[in-house]
Chains A and B, each alone.
Chain A
Amino acid sequence: MLNERVLNILQESFFKILIPGITYTIPLTLVSFAFGLLIAIVAALIQVSNVRILTPIIRFYVWVIRGTPLLVQLFIIFYGLPNAGIVLKALPAAIIAFSLNVGAYASETLRASILSVPLGQIEAGYSLGMNYFQVLRRIILPQAFKVSVPPLFNSFISLVKDTSLAANITVTEMFMVTQRIAAKTFEPLALYCEVAFIYLLFCTVLSKVQKIAERKLKLEQG
C-alpha cells in the first residue's frame, strides 16, 4: 500500500493541505470561536439574569441550534437564504453558521459555570452593599471563568474539526483541498489519513494549550 508513488503523493500534498489549514481552517476557527464566545457571554448573562423578553428568545435560539445538524444550518445559510434575497459568500456564511453554533453550546457551558458559583458568596457580596454588576464582575464571573475553561476548550477543539463541514459550501479549507487531490490521484486512503493527521496535529496543540491554561489558573489558587 505504501509504495514509493503513494509516499511521493503524501509528501507533495502535505504542504498543499497544510497551507489551506493555516490560511482557512485556523482563521475560520479563531474568528468563529471569538464571535461564538461573544454571543455565548451575552446569551448566558441574559439567561441567568432572566430578562423579560430576551430570555425566551435566547432559550429559543439555543433550542433550535442544538436541535439541528450543523451541516443543515450551513446549507440553510449558504444555499437557502438566497431564496429570501440574502446572498452570502461562502466564507462569511461559514463564519455565521459556526459562530451561531458555538454561541449556543458555549452559552450553556457559561450558564452552568455561572450557576456553579456558591450562592453564599453571592450573598456575601450583596451583604457588603455591592450591586448586581459588581457582584457579577468581581465575584461570579472570575470564578465562573475558571470552571468554564475545560468545557470551552472542548468546544474549541470540536470547532477545529467541524470547520471541515465548510467544504460542503465551497470553502476551500483543508478538507476540500484534500478531496480534490484524492480525486486526482486516486489515493483516498492515504490522503484522508494525512488530513486527519493534520487535524490531529492542530488539536494536539490546543490540548497542550489547555493544559498550560489550567495549570496557570490553578497556580493562582495556590
Chain B
Amino acid sequence: MLQIKKLCKHYDDLKVLDQINLEIESNKTTVIIGPSGSGKTTLLRCLNLLTVPDAGEIDLNGFTLAFDANRPIQKKKILDFRKKTGMVFQSFNLFSHRTVIENIIEGPVTVLKKTKPEAIEEGMALLKKVGLEDKANHYPKQLSGGQQQRVAIARALAMKPEVLLFDEPTSALDPELEIEVLEIIRTLAEEHYTIVIVTHKMGFAKEVGDKIIFLENGKVLSQGSYSELYYSGNERISRFLNTLQ
C-alpha cells in the first residue's frame, strides 16, 4: 500500500500540489487524470522523489518518508526509496550510449549489485516479456518509439519495484505504436503489479483503472472507479471525461 498524506509542493507562489491525501492499493492499477497543469506529473515525480515534496508524508509498504522544507531528507533514504519504485517516462529516456540489454541491467548491476550474468539472464526474460528479445544488442536510436518505451518498461521492471509509475507513457507515440505499449501495461495490470499511471487515454483508464483519481489545481477533486466518477454528478468531471472519450 502506498499512502500519501497532506503532500505539498510549491514553486514560489504556485501551489502545484496542495495537501494531497491518497491511498494507492497494492496489486491494483491507479490512474491519475486531470487537465494540464493540474499537478499529475509532479505528483508522480514526488512518488519517485525526482521532485522532493515540501511537506507531507509518503509511506510505501511501511517505508515512511516525512517531508519538511527546512530539513532536507537524507540522501541514503532517497536512494533506498527510489529502488522500490520504477519510473517510466514520457520521453523514454533510455541511455543512448548503451545497448538495450545494457540499459536493462544498468540498475540491477550498479545499484542492486547483481552479477552481470545473473542480470543479463533476468534482463533477457524481461525483454521476452516485452517482445524484444531480438533487439538486445541494438542501440536505442535503432528502435522505434514504441520499442524504446517497451525497453524502458523492462528497465523499470528489472529493479523489481514495489510500485510502477508511468508518466504519460504513450504521449510521445503515434497511435499505431501506442497500442503496443498499452498492450504491455495492460498485461502488467492483469498480472497485478502495483501501477500508478498518468494518462490522457480515457478509454484505457476506463479499461485498466481499478481506481481513477481526478486532479485539478493540485487537489484531488474526486476518486473512485470510472463509473463512480462518471456518474458522480460532478459536471466538471463528466465534461472532462466526455471531451477525452
Q: B-contacting residues of A (Cβ < 8 Å)?
A: 118, 120-121, 123-131, 134, 138-139, 142-143, 146, 220-222
Some 17 contacts from A to B, beta carbons below 8 A apart, are A118-B93, A121-B94, A124-B94, A126-B50, A126-B82, A127-B82, A127-B87, A127-B156, A128-B83, A128-B159, A129-B80, A129-B111, A130-B107, A131-B75, A139-B95, A139-B97, A221-B97
Interface assignment of B226: CB less than 8 Å from any CB of chain A: no
Pairwise interchain contact B142-A222, C-beta atoms closer than 8 A: yes
For residue A50, give the distance in angstroms from its CB to the closest CB of chain B. Answer: 15
- Mark contacts of B151-174 with chain A using CB atoms, 8 A cut-off: 1 yes-contact digit, 0 otherwise: 010011001000000000000000
- 14 more A-B residue pairs beyond the given contacts A120-B89, A220-B97, A221-B97, with a C-beta to C-beta distance below 8 A: A123-B89, A124-B93, A126-B82, A127-B48, A127-B82, A127-B85, A127-B156, A128-B82, A129-B82, A130-B79, A130-B110, A142-B97, A143-B96, A143-B97
Q: For the complex, what is the distance from the CA of A138 to the CA of B82, rounded to whole Å?
A: 18
Total A-B Cβ pairs within 8 A: 71
Pairwise interchain contact A123-B50, C-beta atoms closer than 8 A: yes
Q: For the complex, what is the distance from the CA of A127 to the CA of B111, rounded to whole Å?
A: 11
Residues from chain A with Cβ under 8 Å of B54 in the complex = none
Q: For the complex, what is the distance from the CA of A118 to the CA of B91, rounded to whole Å?
A: 11
Which residue from chain B places its CB closest to the CB of A124 in the assembled complex? Answer: B93
Residues from chain A with Cβ under 8 Å of B159 in the complex = 128-129
Pairwise interchain contact A123-B97, C-beta atoms closer than 8 A: no
For residue B191, give the distance in angstroms from its CB to the closest CB of chain A. Answer: 21
Interface assignment of B141: CB less than 8 Å from any CB of chain A: yes
Interface assignment of B106: CB less than 8 Å from any CB of chain A: yes
| A-B CB proximity, top 7 nearest | A128-B107, A120-B93, A129-B83, A127-B87, A124-B93, A129-B82, A129-B111
Max chain B Cβ within 10 angstroms of own Cβ: one of A121, A126, A222: A121
